[in-house]
Structure 1
Amino acid sequence: MKPLLSALAFLLELAMLAAAGWWGFTLDTGWPVRLLAGLGAPLLIAVVWGTFCSPKAAVPLPAPAKLAVQAACFVTGGALLALAGRPVPAVLLVALWAVDKALLSLAGDPV
């Protein structure tokens, strides 16, 4: 069960990055801004995730702080997707992450 939940967590992380990119590329502005936002938003989230949340994080955090950063990244991804006009997938993204994270915790996986 734990490998399946971990795989789902990874897929949700990719979906979070895709949501941020979707927002940027659907902005109602010129193509240079859309390109910058569409590539920059996921890159920024990926840098934050890699710095604080990845298994080889450059800045290891205590479990509650790491969970807070993860939640902030997913809420940001969900908010950007909602701003792009996709509120239902945005809520599903954040809700699925929360359920997956809770099930992983029950399975004994650290944050």
Structure 2
Amino acid sequence: MTSFMRVFYGANDLLAFFLELGALAALAWWGWTRDIGRVWSIGLAVAGPAAAGVLWGAFAAPKAAYPVPLAAQLAVKAVVFGAATLALYAVGWRTGALWFGGVVLVNTAVVTYHRTRG
């Protein structure tokens, strides 16, 4: 592999990490902005990212606690990133939601290709 490709895949892995953090932040933001009472909003702001993090760590992370086939990993990623994209849309960040979803799709395709081709 050329040094350019190593840098490209390394940068893409770093972008994947930041997208994962962004997904957690989007879910927290959505929970926080719900008008259902402050205690319930705080609960959603904590529970949403916590549930996504547990799901991700258990099944979708590179060193997942419970390794599953690629299709299941991609399904978990679709659920977490899809929920985050919908959360951004729900809080009124519509253009950002579209950009986030698009970047996630491209990034996930590149990361999946890189990790499965070796």
Secondary structure at the counterpart of residue 109 of structure 1: helix
Instruction: Please give the TM-score of this superposition, normalised by the length of structure 1.
Output: 0.91
Task: Indicate the residue corresponding to 2:115 in structure 1.
Answer: 109
Distance 2:85 2:58 in 1: 20
CA contact (8 A) 1:16 1:93 kept: no
CA offset digits 1:41-80 (Å, max 9, x no partner): 1111111101111122122110111111111110011111
Task: Indicate the residue corresponding to 2:36 in structure 1.
Answer: 29
Give every structure 1 segment of 4 or more consecutive aligned residues whose post-TM-superposition deviation is greater than 4 Å. none
Distance 1:47 1:23 in 2: 18
Residues 1:12 and 2:16 aligned together: no
Question: Identity over the aligned pairs, expressed in percent?
Answer: 34
Distance 1:70 1:47 in 2: 12
1:100 positional shift: 0.9
Q: 1:88 aligns with which of 74, 95, 107?
A: 95
Residues 1:42 and 2:53 aligned together: no
Distance 1:42 1:2 in 2: 27
Q: Which amino acid aligns with 1:76?
A: A
List alignment gaps of at least 5 residues for structure 1.
none
Number of equivalences: 110
1:36 positional shift: 0.3
Bigger helix share: 2
Structure 1 residues 60 and 105, CA, compared in 2 at 3 Å: closer, same or farther?
Answer: closer
> Which structure would you say has the larger Rg?
2
1:90 positional shift: 1.5
List alignment gaps of at least 5 residues for structure 2.
1-7
